Amino acid sequence: MSTQFRLFPLALVLLAAAAVAEGPGLADPAQAARLWSPEIRSRAASLIGLGPAPELTARLADVGADPALDPVGRDAVLYAYLQLLRQQPPQRQSDAALAWLSVYPAQATVLHAESASARVPLFDVAARAQGLANEKRHRLMLDAVATQAPDAVLDGDRTAGAGPDPTAIAAAVAALPAAPRAAWRAAIAGRPDLADGAPGLFLALADRDIGLAQRRLLRADPALASAGLKRALATLDGVDAVRLCGAAAAHRDPGVRALAIALGTRAAQASVALLPAWQDGLRAALADPDAGAAAALHLARLLDDAEFAALKASAGSDPQLQRRMLLIERLRAAPGLLQMDSGS
Amino acid sequence: MKRWPILSWLLIAGAAAGQTLVDWTQAPGRLGLGYPVPIPEDTPIAFDGFRSYAGLHARHQQLLLEAPGFSGEVVGQTLRGRDIWLYRYGGPDAPDVEGRTRPAILINGGIHAREWQSPEVVTGLMELLAAGGDDRHWLGYLRENTNILMLPVLNIDGFLQTQRYPRSNVLDSDPQFPQSAPRDGRMRRKNLRNADEDLFSIGDHLFGVDLNRNSSPFWPGPPINFSPTGLTHAGAFPASEPEIQALQAAAVAAPGERLRFFADMHSFARVLFSVQTGNTRRNQIQSGLLAMASQHHQALPGGVVYTDVPEPPNAGIGTTSEYFAHAWQVPALTWELEPGSAGGVEYGGFGTNGHDGFILPESQIRRVRDNMALTLAAVGYHMAGPPHLLALQVIDEASGALVLDRQWRPGGPAGLRTLDQRQLQAIEPGRPYLVWLAFSKPMRWRDDGGAVVPFPGRAESAIAAALELRLGGQPLAAQIGPPQWSAQAAMSPQGFRRYRDDAFAVRLLVPDSAENRARIQQAGPDARATLGVDVRDMTGHRLDALPATPVDWQGGHWQGYEDADGIAGDTGGPDRQQQLPLTVSAQGGLFAIDAGHSGGWFDPSRSGEGFLLEIIDGERAQVYWFTYDEHGAQRWLSGLGEIQGNRIRFPQLFVTTGGRFGPLFDPALIEREVVAAGEFWFGGCDQGWFDYEGLGRRGRFQLVRTGRPMGVDCAPPPGAIADPRAGQGGSWYDPSHSGEGFALQWLGNGEMLLMWFSYDPDGRQYWMVGTGRLEGDEVVFRDLHATRGGVFGPGFDPARIERFFWGDLRLRLGCQRGEAHYDSVLPGFGAGSFDLHRLTGLRGLDCQGP
């Protein structure tokens, strides 16, 4: 049994629909272990044996009302069924069954971790089913990207409702080998919304087309620009990453500008050749009313005492720069603040 | 400490197993979320993602240094010795606009390490307040009237541990739920008591105290968890943990007796776990408050619903919110942020492990942060207190003249407000008026198109306003138009008072019917109609119907919050304190301001400070207010005002800095700062009032003249100018000294009144006044004097004013150009001259020539 298949939402730490402590009695949290009992696993396995049969939903409903099982047992069987179903190919996961399970009301509840009275499901069957439905859509999308013509996938993706993260498709496309990626590139180029969206940006990054990526990044909304910058740092070499981050420092959104400063600094730190020029850029960025604080944070980390003294001396009497110097000073003085390398 | 090499650690099944969080891929030891794994970034500025602690701290410190209204202090240290910062918006030392100690609300973040939404949301509130504090609306109101305390990250040690390992945690080791409860790393909840910061030293990774189980009065539960490895270990005793001690220190520093609200921000479930005590009034106020907050949030983009789940009264598990509800008697709750109960599946996640609810997708945090900041600001607005009707003005519609002014002013005995009234005329039947009503806080919300709409989440009926007139206890027939709320800075009745939409105007006509006349006559010469005003603020508070007793928070409920019958409670009611005088007798006409109101004006009880007023063309006026600062040094303010009827409004009175007396003066260094607003209104040619608000004060001067200007009379039109010199009156300056100058007027007695607004040799504002006489072609001021010893505001004592000789001044003036020569006896001033140009001229006094 692999690790992730033994995970399920338990009462003390997992949160679900809260309700005041009324109605059926609370379950003992220790009953969570019944999920792994042979009886429960066996009944779940028998349901799996039905595949996506038309009568599956009725059989699931039978379990939910089975007088031979107590509330914990009923919920446990259905939850175990979902665990096993997840190992099946998407085509064997019944949409009707997932829809029914997605609204299944828990029968066994325990106290919420932060409450003396509110209850949460011992086994959150509904949430588990909704998650599996999401995962199924994701897996089907991956299959489609790998096997279908781009236009067919792109047209089919325009369905409403919760589904794969928008950047997931873009990431899947960008991960394709060069030849199929070329077909996608052509398809996306003909669709301005996609060209200016995640697919266009991620493809440009995958192609190492820095000029195109730069243009698309600057046009992107803040959310996409941020995702794109993070992806750039993961996929590009240092020089290209620094170049792209430098360009993104002109983005209209101050959050993106500041993020570009942060990520660009990380990329530049990997290269002795890149760092000095980047540091000059940080010094210049200090005056930016918004993103200048990001430059201050990174200069606080990068500069030694002498370099900081020189920077301070060069700041002149400009009140904004003086405040930024004070910010650097405070950040350098915060115990342990700058030593931790987060984002590992 | 036992350390396991990472490679073997990932492969081991048994006592503890590593789990790596990934975006989408599923594989043994890897948990696919269904969305990109959030990685904290070292950036201070909010973006579509999560900030590292260094980034957040940099942002907090930046706001502390750069945003007006913020202060901060260290209230304790974590177990690892890291400073725990408390930030304030509005300080405990700065009084509210009435001079009272501000009410406080406290928002705590980051008590549970893995709940990254929480510090982001508290920081988002700081950012909202910093960005909007100048809005002259609800955020400006918060800045001036509340003390919002924000502790963005309480469990810094734990938070850093989760950020140190954003993709990793440990599975198969939880003593109670080994197969399901990931611990430490990204999934750490507790502080670091007896635990190190190394995820790979397994022996101690379960240790720590749950900081939300460490508070009285219900410590240690049930359920009781004294196991140091337990997820909800309660600690050795209440407040045993330094982080909780810091939070309690924050409450004391608030100060605690001013606290009115506490929220501990957590995730996830989208529920509000509110604490109930034995104080039913507190419980009801809390219930209403959280209903408002929930409705507000639901109305924001995303439509996210939060449900209030009140705990049973006097029960608990050791949370911080229980401590605040019981120890400080304030509404208090554990606020579980997004996602909802289903966790990450709401956003397309796979929900493989319900713990993904602690990992909000980066794509969602901007919305969560921004929306929750707005809702928390709404909570602050609500708990700042109910509104009261602060001022009423009745304006004659035809002439624009103010005929009645009633204002509640602070500073009465025993902390009460007193009603200050000025009446020029009574209300006449058949004559249309505009009634302007101003409240103590911004009362209305507007959509992007500028239309008044209900505050997000409120019903359409919430913006209704009910007004009625009663005479002798019975309704008086009157036509009262719909309220026109004021979003513009202008004089009443068009403008707001202090905040946008804190005032509205209605048209009032008492029909000239036989019945009305009979009733007014029957009521006698002191006939007064009662104006009833029933209106709610943006979040649903009704008026404090008795403004004389200011509303406060005591004993877990509102105090001094009366209904229309004067009964104190928690709901308020219609204000019926305003009396409108009525008459059927003929009254004299109302005059309007004209050229003759130019001149010097002062309050006889405040001899030693005053105003030089210039009525200029275009229904405008220029004023110079020569006064003092809080320390006895001179200060002068100036401004350009608009005239309406018998009033002149100066929306911006500014002070200047950067000047130096004499040749060191550099106009490029002069900076203007708006510090106050004021309004003159006149009851006649020689009588008036000046109301001001600013520099931390609000006050009213009762004014008389120092003298009438030559060549103009009070009654229009001005007659022929008796002496052509009169046209020289106005403001003069040297363009090379822009930022200082002279205001002068010829008086009817043949003297010239002059005020020289300038600076001293040390760069402080300085003014001299005097009267001069014509000697040949020069106006000679032989007794130009300065003063010291005054104090701005109510502490002013004319007996302490010291007037002393400064020197002499000689002016040679034409109509547009002139020159000035001065010679001071005081050190540092010396002698010099100016090349003068005219800046303003007095209305009605023409001056022909160069």
What digits encode the pLDDT tens for the residues B471-490? 999 999 999 999 999 999 88
Q: Quote the pLDDT of residue B697.
A: 80
Q: Do B53 and A340 touch (CB under 8 A)?
A: yes
Q: Quote the pLDDT of residue A271.
A: 84
Residues 6+ apart with CB under 8 A from B314: B276, B277, B278
Contact present, A224 and A257 (Cβ < 8 Å): no
Average pLDDT of span B675-690: 91
DSSP string, B119-172: HHHHHHHHHHHHHHTTSSSHHHHHHHH-EEEEE--S-HHHHHHHHHSTTEEEES
- List B422's β-bridge partners, or say none: B405
Residue B675, classified by CB atoms within 10 Å of its CB into exposed (0-12), middle (13-18) or buried (19+), is middle
Q: Is pLDDT of B131 > 60?
A: yes
* Both tokens assigned to A261: 């400063």
Q: How many residues does chain B have?
A: 850
Q: Quote the pLDDT of residue A22.
A: 40
For B47, the closest of A32, A256, A331 (CB atoms) is A256
Please, which pLDDT band fits residue A212 given cuts at 50, 70 and 90?
very high
Cα A221 off chain centre by:
18
Between B104 and A115, name the one with better pLDDT: B104
Taking alpha carbons only, the member of B837, B782, B849 closest to residue B810 is B782
Average pLDDT of span B86-98: 88
* Both tokens assigned to B626: 């020569």
Q: Quote the pLDDT of residue B455.
A: 98
Please, which pLDDT band fits residue B716 given cuts at 50, 70 and 90?
low
Q: Quote the pLDDT of residue B494.
A: 85
Q: What digits encode the pLDDT tens for the residues B614-625?
A: 999 989 999 999
Residue of A nearest to B45 (CA): A255
Between B830 and B2, name the one with better pLDDT: B830
Pairing mode of beta strands B17-22, B688-694: unpaired
Tabulate helix, strand, coil % of chain B (nearest 5).
Answer: 20, 35, 45
CA distance B351 to A79: 12
Residues of A in contact with B41 (CB under 8 A): 230, 259, 262-263, 342-343
Residue type for B688, please? G
Q: Quote the pLDDT of residue B453.
A: 98
CA distance B566 to B551: 13
Other CB atoms closer than 10 Å to residue A62's CB: what's the count? 12
Residues of A in contact with B332 (CB under 8 A): none
Other CB atoms closer than 10 Å to residue B717's CB: what's the count? 9
Q: Helix, strand or coil for residue A287?
A: coil
Q: Do B164 and A227 touch (CB under 8 A)?
A: no
Q: Do B362 and A298 touch (CB under 8 A)?
A: no
Please, which pLDDT band fits residue B3 given cuts at 50, 70 and 90?
very low
Q: Quote the pLDDT of residue B768.
A: 97
At residue A319, φ and ψ (nearest 5 deg) are -60, -40
Cα B383 off chain centre by:
13
Element (H, E) at B812: strand B802-813
Range in B301-310, B595-604, B716-725 with the lowest mean pLDDT? B716-725
Please, which pLDDT band fits residue B14 given cuts at 50, 70 and 90?
very low
Range in A155-169, B212-226, B301-315, B335-349 with the lowest mean pLDDT? A155-169
Q: Is pLDDT of A180 > 90?
A: no
- List B507's β-bridge partners, or say none: B434
Q: Is pLDDT of A110 > 50?
A: yes
Residue type for B113, please? A
Q: Is pLDDT of B175 > 60?
A: yes
What is the ipTM score, two decimals?
A: 0.91
Q: Do B348 and A258 touch (CB under 8 A)?
A: no
The tally of CA atoms less than 13 A away on the side-chain side of residue B451 is 4
Widest pairwise Cα distance in chain A: 82
- List B745's β-bridge partners, or say none: B753
Pairing mode of beta strands B147-151, B104-108: parallel
Element (H, E) at B756: strand B752-759
Q: Is pLDDT of A341 > 60?
A: no
Please, which pLDDT band fits residue A15 given cuts at 50, 70 and 90?
very low
* Both tokens assigned to B500: 């946008």
Other CB atoms closer than 10 Å to residue B11's CB: what's the count? 12
Q: What is the mean pLDDT of chain B?
A: 92
Q: Do B172 and A3 touch (CB under 8 A)?
A: yes
Vertex B665 angle, CA B660 and B667, to 5°: 115
Other CB atoms closer than 10 Å to residue B720's CB: what's the count? 5
* Both tokens assigned to A62: 């039978």
Element (H, E) at A168: helix A166-174
Contact present, B791 and B773 (Cβ < 8 Å): no
Rounded (10°) angle between helices A166-174 and A198-206: 30
Residue of B nearest to A228 (CA): B48
Rg (CA), chain A: 27
Range in A77-81, B1-5, B737-741, B754-758 with the lowest mean pLDDT? B1-5
Taking alpha carbons only, the member of A247, A201, A242, A204 closest to residue A220 is A201
DSSP string, B293-314: HHHHHHTSTT----EEEEPPTT
Q: Quote the pLDDT of residue A303.
A: 95
For chain A, count helices (H), then strands (E): 18, 2
A48 touches chain B (CB under 8 A): no
Q: Helix, strand or coil for residue B190?
A: coil
Q: Quote the pLDDT of residue B722.
A: 65
Contact present, B77 and B153 (Cβ < 8 Å): no
Rounded (10°) angle between helices A95-102 and A56-64: 30
Q: Do A222 and B223 touch (CB under 8 A)?
A: no
Q: Is pLDDT of B264 > 60?
A: yes
Q: What percent of chain A has pLDDT over 70?
A: 88
Contact present, A228 and A251 (Cβ < 8 Å): no
CA distance B221 to B232: 10
Widest pairwise Cα distance in chain B: 109
Q: Quote the pLDDT of residue A14.
A: 31
Q: Is pLDDT of A20 > 60?
A: no
Q: Do A18 and B341 touch (CB under 8 A)?
A: yes
What Cα–Cα distance (Å) separates residue B128 from each residue in A56, A253, B123, B168? 52, 16, 9, 33
Q: Helix, strand or coil for residue B41?
A: strand
Residue of A nearest to B334 (CA): A114
CA distance A14 to B343: 9
Residues 6+ apart with CB under 8 A from B350: A131, A132, A134, A135, A138, B26, B32, B33, B34, B344, B356
CA distance B358 to B351: 11
Contact present, A133 and B34 (Cβ < 8 Å): no
Q: Quote the pLDDT of residue A165.
A: 61
Rounded (10°) angle between helices B53-66 and A319-333: 140
Q: What digits encode the pLDDT tens for the residues A317-331?
A: 888 999 999 999 999
Residue type for B508, please? L
Q: Do B354 and A127 touch (CB under 8 A)?
A: yes
Q: What percent of chain B has pLDDT over 90?
A: 80
Q: Quote the pLDDT of residue B29.
A: 66
Please, which pLDDT band fits residue B608 given cuts at 50, 70 and 90?
very high
What secondary structure letter does DSSP report for B740? B
Q: Is the peptide bond before B220 cis (omega within 30 degrees of 0)?
A: yes
Between B685 and B394, name the one with better pLDDT: B394
Q: What percent of chain B has pLDDT over 70?
A: 96
Q: Do A230 and B212 touch (CB under 8 A)?
A: no
DSSP E strands, B546-633: 552-554, 557-559, 575-581, 599-602, 610-616, 620-628
A246 touches chain B (CB under 8 A): no
What Cα–Cα distance (Å) separates residue A341 from each residue in A79, A280, B113? 40, 22, 17
Q: Do A226 and B54 touch (CB under 8 A)?
A: no
Vertex A128 angle, CA A122 and A133, to 5°: 165
A255 touches chain B (CB under 8 A): yes
What Cα–Cα distance (Å) separates residue B452 from each residue in A260, B339, B447, B455, B726? 40, 32, 7, 9, 50
DSSP string, B646-688: TEEEEEEEEEEES--SGGG--GGG-EEEEEEEEEEEESSSS-E
The tally of CA atoms less than 13 A away on the side-chain side of residue A314 is 11
Q: Do B83 and A335 touch (CB under 8 A)?
A: yes
Query: How close is the nearest chain B Cα to the Cα of A331, in Å?
Result: 7
Q: What is the mean pLDDT of chain A?
A: 86
CA distance B231 to B112: 11
Contact present, B329 and B279 (Cβ < 8 Å): yes
Q: Quote the pLDDT of residue B660.
A: 95
Q: Quote the pLDDT of residue B724.
A: 81
- Lookup result for tokens 């009880």: B605
Q: Quote the pLDDT of residue A144.
A: 87
Q: What digits encode the pLDDT tens for the residues B191-216?
A: 999 999 998 887 899 999 999 999 99
Q: Is pLDDT of B57 > 70?
A: yes
Q: Is pLDDT of B5 > 50?
A: no
CA distance A296 to A287: 10
User: Which residue of B57, B62, B80, B174 is the best one to mutate when testing the A interface, meaning the one whose CB has the most A CBs within 10 A?
Assistant: B62
For A20, the closest of B32, B223, B309 (CB atoms) is B309
Range in A131-140, B119-128, B692-701 with the lowest mean pLDDT? B692-701
Q: Is pLDDT of A19 > 70?
A: no
Q: How many residues does chain A have?
A: 344
Vertex B601 angle, CA B600 and B604, to 5°: 135
